[in-house]
Chains A and B, each alone.
Chain A
Amino acid sequence: GAGVSQTPSNKVTEKGKYVELRCDPISGHTALYWYRQSLGQGPEFLIYFQGTGAADDSGLPNDRFFAVRPEGSVSTLKIQRTERGDSAVYLCASSIRTSGGALSTDTQYFGPGTRLTVL
């Protein structure tokens, strides 16, 4: 597809369960970002990948959250032992930004998000 896609669009799970959220970036985009948007808030940075490596994971709230991008394209956000407070829309964005590139050259294209509900 032409844009960033995310699956599933909605995920309902029970407290304590494990979930995986997938992001397919725009083809050729080397940079990939995950954000979390809670109700009434703006997107909150979680992690930034440059190629296959996590260049900045300082936004991950705790060690229950983990993300991978093994081939430098698709990324998976993994949440272990989910809690009700993890309920949010998880957004993925990609860009052509290269390592060391400036934000002003880095238009981030967002996917529609995955709405996660933890019961």
Chain B
Amino acid sequence: DQQVKQNSPSLSVQEGRISILNCDYTNSMFDYFLWYKKYPAEGPTFLISISSIKDKNEDGRFTVFLNKSAKHLSLHIVPSQPGDSAVYFCAAGIEYGNKLVFGAGTILRVKS
């Protein structure tokens, strides 16, 4: 039972353009959401998060949007850079719970 789904296994974007990575969740109890970035042979690195009381959070080139009614969140990267090429994981949790539930990841390739 996949509670967090990233339906696009990969995405290819031209440098300078926008990258949009999508994530859907099924558990309505989730109230905290995160994006992690992972390079080969390294552990995931925290990128940005959003609480369910918000619908948008921005940090530099990265913006996360949350649509609670659709149980959908997305990560926008503008402008995309070759160094952004990595695997991006969406994760969700319950604020006072103990665990994060991760999606399967989306491989982003930014072409120069």
A interface vs B, CB < 8 Å?
4, 33, 35, 40-45, 48, 55-56, 58-59, 91, 93, 100, 102-104, 107-113
Contact = CB atoms under 8 A, between A and B. Distances in A.
Interface stretch (B12-20, B68-76, B91-99): B91-99
Contact of A103 (B44, B89, B97): B97
A104 B95 contact: yes
B89 A43 contact: yes
Give the 7 A-B CB pairs with smallest separation, nearest first. Answer: A110-B43, A42-B102, A56-B98, A45-B99, A48-B98, A103-B32, A103-B93
A42 B104 contact: yes
A88 to B, nearest CB: 13
A104 B95 CA distance: 6
Interface in B51-82: 51
A63 B94 CA distance: 26
B27 interface: no
A109 B46 CA distance: 7
Interface string B32-54: 10001000011111100101000
Interface of B: 4, 6, 32, 36, 41-46, 49, 51, 89, 91, 93-105
Contacts of A109: 43, 46
A110 B45 contact: yes
Contacts of A45: 98-101
Contacts of A40: 104
Given A41-B104, A44-B102, A112 B96 contact: no
A104 B50 CA distance: 8
Given A104-B49, A109-B43, 17 more contacts: A4-B43, A33-B99, A42-B6, A42-B105, A45-B101, A48-B98, A55-B98, A56-B99, A58-B99, A59-B99, A103-B32, A103-B93, A104-B95, A107-B46, A110-B36, A111-B43, A112-B41
